[in-house]
Amino acid sequence: MPYFLKSEDQQHGASAAHGAGGPLAVTDLISPHRISSAFVEAAVAAGHVRTADFNGGSPVGAGLYQVTMRHGERCSTATAFLQPARMRSNLHTIIHARTLRVVMEGDRATGVDYFDGTQVVRIHAAREVILSAGAIDSPKLLMLSGIGDTAQLQSHGVTVRAALPGVGANLCDHPGSMLVWLCARQNRRCPPATS
């Protein structure tokens, strides 16, 4: 959480769940489509809770998602973090490689193994290892490294380094709906399709 708060530049300012002043811009939609707004209103009318902040308030309900944009342009992780750091002498970017596991010495993460297309390469960390591989690959890498549910790891022949039964459990995807339409008549003016 401290790293998340430090990284975020939330449009509405800092709070217990959000950071301000960080490199990753998080904003409300500039011009939400009227169909999206109507969908939220219909969900609220049907008894669902209106949610203005899925990340800091209630994750359950209906509302418009915030986006990572700055000045009307996408603020990707590459834009927010990688571009400003590209010229640093202590940054080395490795592309076309697949991380295989976190290297452990006792109960401490000390590096990572990756496959570069021809061989397995090990990198040792000077201070710390930060694992940021998303909702699917982060628990996968932890489990491949021996961190997770003991029975599950042992059933796959993985040596248990840390028994943490919650790793890889309780993944919940964000439910969503998509609405796309076409006009039956070519000369009829229709709004563009949206999702």
Structural domains for the chain: 2-85 (no CATH), 94-195 (3.50.50.60)
pLDDT at 56: 80
Which has the closest alpha carbon to 34: 182, 186, 179, 176? Answer: 179
The C-alpha atoms of residue 116 and residue 92 are separated, in whole angstroms, by: 14
Q: What is the pTM of this model?
A: 0.66
pLDDT at 195: 45
Which regions of the chain are under pLDDT 70?
Answer: 174-195
Strand, coil or helix: what is 114? strand
pLDDT at 44: 97
CA dist 21 and 145 (Å) reads 34
Q: Is 143:150 a contact under the CB 8 Å cutoff? A: no
Residue 175: the pLDDT is 67
Amino acid 26: pLDDT:
96
8 A C-beta contact, residue 42 and residue 58: no
Instruction: Report the C-alpha gap between 171 and 101 in whole angstroms.
Output: 20
